Amino acid sequence: MGETSRYGSVDYTAKVDQALLQLAEQSYDRVYLVHNAGSLGQLGLVQECATSPTDLSQYWELNVTSVLWLNKRFLDVFGASRDELLAPAAPSNEKHAQLVIVNVTSLCGIEPFKTHMLYCTGKAAREMHHRVVATEQAAIGKVRVLQYSPGPMDTDMQKTLRETPQLDPELRKQFADMKAKGALIPPAQSSERGVKLAISGDYETGAHVDYYDLDPPNKHKL
């Protein structure tokens, strides 16, 4: 929808509105809004993670603000209205949700990781925002929220973590060991689990579901 450069943010609001108009012209049983975009930000100790408030603002714009705005606009169209939510309680019909919001999250959103201040803070903000959305919309059932944590995947981001000197030494060693042992998860494998879960609806709206939570009962976590 938009991008953030070192010089500022590109206005994406018009593109969001255009996408919603295109959706309105078609007839869909269900719309999936997937928040997968994000960035690590500067790694290092808290005092090393920004050189100015502008650096912080640009990080929040890409990783938090844009997510909040996208959800706001999609809820304007597909969510339950204030009148619906304040009406006498009616049975929720989750099987007929019109909008499913998928927040691709991380263990960093619920646990602190040394030298990951920006990443952890951004993921935590997104987690709480989506929990609020799920809580507000639950009574009607038009909207469901899945927070899927894909696990430690074998990606360029993982490579960056292993090669960044500012990263906590214990974490660097842990990630290097996982790479050496072939323990990192193939992205396609994790994506398949996440997609199947989102389509099935077999989750509590707003809940954080980890890749490893979906392992067969007899399989131990790495």
Q: Is the pLDDT of residue 20 over 90?
A: no
User: Is it the case that residue 5 has pLDDT exceeding 60?
Assistant: no
pLDDT value of residue 222: 38
pTM of this structure: 0.87
pLDDT value of residue 219: 55
Lowest-pLDDT range of 83-97, 108-122, 199-213: 83-97
Residue 4 has pLDDT above 50, yes or no: no
Q: Where are the beta strands (DSSP E) in 69-187?
A: 99-104, 143-149
Percent composition of the chain: helix, strand, coil (DSSP 3-state, to 5): 50, 15, 35
Angle 104-106-108 from CA coordinates, rounded to 5°: 145
- Residue 101 burial by Cβ neighbours in a 10 Å radius (0-12, 13-18, 19+): buried
**Which pairing describes strands 99-104 and 8-9: parallel, antiparallel, or unpaired?**
unpaired
Q: What are phi and psi of 106, to 5 degrees?
A: -160, 160
Helix (H, G, I), strand (E, B) or coil at 148: strand
Q: Class of 26-152+188-212 per CATH? A: alpha beta
